[in-house]
Chains A and B, each alone.
Chain A
Amino acid sequence: MRLFLALFALSAALAQDAGPTHADWPSYGGTDFSWRYSALDQINASNVQSLAPVWMFQTGDYAENLQATPIVQDGVLYLITARARVFALDAATGREIWNYRYPDPPRPVPGFVGNRGLAVGGGKVFFGTKDNYLVALDQKTGRLLWRVNIDDAQQCGCNITAAPLVVQDKVIVGGTGGDSAHRGYLTAFSTNNGHLAWRWYVVPGPGEKGHETWKGDSWIFGGGAPWLTGSYDAALNLLYWGTGNAAADFYDARRVPTGADKNKNLNLYTASVVALDPDTGKLRWFHQEVPGDIWDYDSAYEVLLMDLQIRGRTRQALVHMNKSGLTSVLDRTNGELLGVFSVPEVRTWVTGITEDGKLVGRNEPQLGKSTAICPSAAGAKSWNSMAYSPRTGLIYVPVNEMCNDITPNNNPAEEGENYMNGDFPIRLIPGRATNSHIDAWDPATGKRVWSVPYKYVLLASMLATAGNLVFTGNPEGEFFALDAAKGNKLWSFQTGAGHRGASVAYSVNGREYIATSTGWHSSVVGGAVQALFPDQDWRLGSSLVVFALPEGSAK
Chain B
Amino acid sequence: MTRSLLLLAAGAVLAFPQDPSAMLKRGEQVFSQTCATGYCHGARGASGGAPRLAARGFNRAYIMGVVVRGIPNSGMQSFEGRLPDADLAAVIAYVAALNGVANPAAGLGPAATGASGPQLNGEAARGALLFREAVRGFGRCSTCHEVGGFGIPVAGPISQVPASVDALKSLATPNVKTGTIDGASMPVLVLSDGKQGAQFYDLGATPPVQRNTLPGEAKFSAGSAWRHASVITAYSDAELDAILDYLRAVAQP
Chain A residues proximal to chain B, CB less than 8 Å: 63-64, 107-108, 110, 112-113, 143-152, 154-156, 179, 182-183, 193-196, 199, 205, 220, 378, 407, 409, 411, 414-415, 417-418, 420, 423-426, 522-525, 527-529, 531, 540
What is the CB-to-nearest-CB distance from B82 to chain A, in angstroms, rounded to a whole number? 5
Within 8 Å of chain A (Cβ to Cβ): is B74?
yes
Neighbouring B residues of A144 by C-beta, 8 Å? 212
Which of B39, B138, B209 is within 8 Å of A193, CB to CB? B209
* 6 interchain residue pairs of minimum CB distance: A528-B49, A523-B75, A195-B205, A194-B209, A528-B39, A108-B81
Nearest residue, chain A, Cβ from B142: A152
How many Å from the CB of B177 to the closest CB on chain A? 17
Instruction: Assess A155 versus B209: contact at CB under 8 Å? Given A524-B38, A524-B39, A529-B49.
Output: no
Q: Please, which residues of chain B bring their CB within 8 A of the CB of A378? A: 39
- Cross-chain contact B49 with A154 (CB below 8 angstroms): no
B199-253 interface with A by 8 A CB criterion: 202, 204-212
Bound CA–CA A113/B73 (angstroms): 10
Interface residues of B (CB under 8 A from A): 29, 32-34, 36-39, 42-43, 46-51, 72-75, 77-78, 80-82, 132, 134-135, 137-138, 142, 149-152, 202, 204-212
Contact B72 A220 (CB under 8 A): no
Chain A residues whose C-beta falls within 8 Å of the C-beta of B72 in the assembled complex: 63
Find out whether the CB atom of A146 lies under 8 angstroms from the CB atom of B211: yes
Which chain A residue has the least Cβ–Cβ distance from B184? A193
Which chain A residues lie closer than 8 Å to B37 at the CB level? 179, 418, 420, 423
**Contact present for A531 and B51 (CB under 8 Å):** yes
B205 x A423 contact (CB < 8 A) = no
A146 touching B210 by the CB < 8 A rule? yes
B contact residues around A523 at 8 Å (CB): 39, 74-75
Question: What's the Cα separation between A199 and B72 when bound, in Å?
Answer: 36
Which among A63, A147, A149, A182 is the interface contact of B73 at CB below 8 angstroms? Answer: A63
Distance between Cα atoms of A152 and B136 in the complex (Å): 13
Chain B residues with Cβ below 8 Å from A155 are 132, 134, 142, 150-151
Q: Which residues of B sit under 8 angstroms from A529, Cβ to Cβ?
A: 49
Give me 24 A-to-B residue pairs in the complex whose CB atoms sit less than 8 angstroms apart, sorted by A's number: A63-B73, A108-B80, A110-B82, A112-B77, A143-B212, A152-B132, A154-B149, A155-B151, A179-B37, A193-B202, A193-B209, A195-B204, A195-B209, A196-B205, A415-B134, A423-B36, A423-B37, A426-B48, A523-B75, A524-B75, A527-B74, A528-B49, A531-B47, A540-B73
Tell me the number of A-to-B contacts counted with CB atoms below 8 Å. Answer: 130
Say whether, besides A425-B48, A528-B39, A529-B49, A112 and B75 are in contact (CB < 8 Å): yes
Q: Could you tell me the distance between the alpha carbons of A527 and B50 in the complex, rounded to whole angstroms?
A: 7
Report the minimal beta-carbon distance from A149 to chain B, rounded to whole angstroms: 5
Q: How far, in angstroms, from A366 to B67 measured CA to CA in the complex?
A: 32
In the assembled complex, how far is the CB of residue A497 from the closest CB belonging to chain B, in whole angstroms? 12
* Across-interface contacts of A525 in B (CB, < 8 A): 39, 49
> How distant is the Cα of A522 from the Cα of B49 in the complex, in angstroms?
10
What is the CB-to-nearest-CB distance from A408 to chain B, in angstroms, rounded to a whole number?
11
Q: Tell whether, in the assembled complex, residue B207 and residue A196 are in contact, meaning their CB atoms are under 8 Å apart.
A: yes
A409 touches B212 (CB 8 A): no
Measured CB to CB, the nearest residue on chain B to A205 is B135
CA distance A524 to B49 in the complex (A): 8
**Are B210 and A411 within 8 A (Cβ)?**
no
The distance in angstroms between the C-alpha atoms of A289 and B197, with both chains bound, is 50
Contact between A194 and B211 (Cβ–Cβ < 8 Å)?
Answer: yes
- A145 close to B73 (CB less than 8 A): no
Q: Is the CB of B38 within 8 A of A418?
A: yes
In Å, the complex CA distance between A275 and B80 comes to: 41
Asked if B209 and A152 sit within 8 Å, CB to CB, the answer is no
Report the bound CA distance from A156 to B50 in whole Å.
Answer: 24
Interface contacts beyond A110-B82, A420-B37: sample of 4 additional A-B pairs, CB < 8 Å, sorted by A: A147-B210, A193-B209, A423-B43, A528-B48
Q: How far is the CB of A296 from chain B (nearest CB, A)?
A: 10
In the complex, chain A residues whose CB is within 8 Å of the CB of B38: 179, 418, 420, 524
Residue of B nearest to A219 (CB): B135
A64: shortest Cβ distance to chain B, in Å?
A: 8
Please give, as numbers and ranges, the residues of chain A lying within 8 Å of B204 by CB-CB distance: 193, 195
Contacts of B42 in A (CB 8 A): 423, 425
Asked if A407 and B205 make an inter-chain contact with CB atoms under 8 angstroms apart, the answer reads: no
- How far is it, in angstroms, between the C-alpha of A425 and the C-alpha of B72 when the chains are bound? 24
Do B49 and A531 touch (CB < 8 A)? yes
* Most chain B CB atoms below 10 A, which of A63, A407, A425, A525: A425
Known contacts A146-B211, A193-B211, A195-B205; A527/B33 CB under 8 A:
no
**Given the contacts A108-B78, A426-B39, A523-B75, A199 and B137 also touching, CB distance less than 8 Å:** yes
Question: Which of A146, A179, A199, A524 touches B209 (beta carbons < 8 Å)?
Answer: A146
Q: A143-B212, A155-B142, A378-B39 are in contact. Are A425 and B82 (CB under 8 A)?
A: no
| Option from B73, B135, B142, B150 in Cβ contact (under 8 Å) with A522 | B73
B-chain residues with CB within 8 Å of residue A151 when the two chains form the complex = 134
- Is the Cβ of B47 less than 8 Å from the Cβ of A196? no
B134 contacts across to A, CB distance below 8 A: 151, 155-156, 182-183, 220, 415
Chain B contacts of A195 at CB under 8 A?
202, 204-205, 209
Contact B206 A196 (CB under 8 A): yes
Q: Kindly state the separation between the CA atoms of A194 and B49 in the bound complex, as whole angstroms.
A: 39
Taking the nearest CB of chain B, how far is it from the CB of A519, in angstroms? 11
CA distance A407 to B78 in the complex (A): 27
Residue contact A527 to B49, C-beta cutoff 8 Å: yes
Q: Which residues of chain B come closer than 8 Å to A145, judged between CB atoms?
A: 211-212
Interface centre among B32, B49, B72 (most CB of A within 10 A): B49
Tell me, rounded to whole Å, the shortest Cβ–Cβ distance linking A131 to chain B.
10
Complex Cα–Cα for A523 and B77 (A): 10
Given contacts A196-B205, A425-B42, contact A409 B32 (CB under 8 A): yes
Which of B46, B47, B81 contacts A107 (CB under 8 A)?
A: B81
Contact A152 B150 (CB under 8 A): yes
A148 touching B212 by the CB < 8 A rule?
no
A205 to B135 Cα, complex, angstroms: 8
A417 to B, closest residue via Cβ: B33
Q: Is B202 a contact of A194 with CB atoms below 8 Å? A: yes
Q: Which residues of A contact B149 (CB under 8 A)?
A: 107, 154
Known pairs A108-B80, A193-B209, A196-B206; A527 contacts B75 (CB<8 A): yes
Whole-angstrom distance between the alpha carbons of A64 and B32 in the complex?
A: 26
